[in-house]
Amino acid sequence: MTTYLVPFTFDNGVELRNRYVMAPMTTYSANPDDTVSDEELAYYEERSYGVGAVITACTYVAASGKGFPGQFAGHTDAYIDSLRKVAQAIHKGGAKAILQIYHGGRKSPRELVPNGDVVSASDTIAADGGKARAVTIEEIQEIVKAFGETTRRAIEAGFDGVEIHGANTYLLQQFFSGFTNKRTDEYGGTLEKRMRFPLEVVAEVNRVKQQYADDSFIVGYRFSPEEPEEEGISLDDTVQLVDRLANEPLGYLHISLGDFRSVAHRYAGEKENRIKIVHRVLDGRIPLIGVGSIYSKKDALEAMETGAELLALGRELLIEPHWVEKMTAGEEVITEMDMTQNNVIPGQMMRMMQSRPGWVPGVK
């Protein structure tokens, strides 16, 4: 346990005070103008005193990519001051602040994007069951630039890094997946071509980093390992993607899982733990963040056995905002939400949690 409570240093020399980070979780709680709300600032600050870094909820890089109501924005310079407040709130507790950036693609609710024009890698089904249209080559280039521009805003706002959200079936994953990418141009078809858009986003974010920040700015990438659909992403596909990403100038990779114990389903190799498989492929070239259902000390000890250099805490930090501090002090932590306690969770986020009984243990 103590091995993850000691400092961790990235290849660029940036040190985290321990190996635990806060996982990104959607709050649904921004102001009506998509600036960060006081409730969200309090939520981030409350959880910034123990973990080494806080990865924020995703912020959208283009108006066409907004994926949730009550999502704080980062797609124009008008939101730099709002973003700065988020970074400052996280820094109050001594954690590094990492802004997650993304485009919702076909998952964006039609009522939240301009003219109801939902886009994806190809003509496909949108979240509401209607149509999402394929983005043009010109639009792809604009979105790539938008990821870079939001990175610049993160730098100006004082963030310590950004995490490119290539997971959870959002736009980058929609391009990588053969289920949603039926393109026949240079952005679709072969696995190599389906990787092109995510890799162009990584290159642009790093170009902007070189222009506006120094080596201490962290760039991470989050990915989902598999999809259930026959034409969807297999772990064999993901192994090839992470192998490529490990050779890019990235600070870390972050797997997206609901449970760190989950095993491979669609994979040619042994059906073992997904994090272990990915970690073996990376072979020490780049740190990996493991995540998923880490609540107790026992869970954390078991998760360490996957080999992931860092571990992310999500739902447990909703239940126990000061989990890391209590573990450091040898105190007991609770692993089910006590609804009588004020855990500094925005009201709308709590209402969304209550609409999904069981997602957070103890929330009914």
Question: What ranges do the domains of the chain cover?
Answer: 2-354
pLDDT at 2: 58
142 within 8 A of 62, measured Cβ to Cβ: yes
295 is catalytic: no
Q: Does pLDDT of 133 surpass 90?
A: yes
Rounded to an integer, what distance in angstroms lies between the CA atom of residue 156 and that of residue 146?
15
Q: Does pLDDT of 211 surpass 80?
A: yes
Active site residue: 20, 43, 102, 170, which one?
A: 170
Tell me the per-residue pLDDT of 84-104, one tens digit each, with 9 for 90 and over: 999 999 999 999 999 999 999
User: How much of the chain exceeds pLDDT 90, in percent?
Assistant: 95
Q: Does pLDDT of 1 surpass 80?
A: no
pLDDT at 339: 85
pLDDT at 96: 98
pLDDT at 3: 76
pLDDT band at 364 (very low <50, low <70, confident <90, very high): confident
pLDDT band at 338 (very low <50, low <70, confident <90, very high): confident
The residue type at 251: G
CATH architecture of 2-354: Alpha-Beta Barrel (3.20)
Q: Does pLDDT of 209 surpass 80?
A: yes
Q: What average pLDDT does the structure give for the chain? A: 96
Rounded to an integer, what distance in angstroms lies between the CA atom of residue 61 and that of residue 65?
7
Q: Has this prediction a pTM greater than 0.85?
A: yes
Q: What are phi and psi of 61, to 5 degrees?
A: -95, -15
Burial class (CB within 10 angstroms; exposed 0-12, middle 13-18, buried 19+) of 114? exposed
Rounded to an integer, what distance in angstroms lies between the CA atom of residue 38 and that of residue 52?
23
Mean pLDDT of 280-287: 97
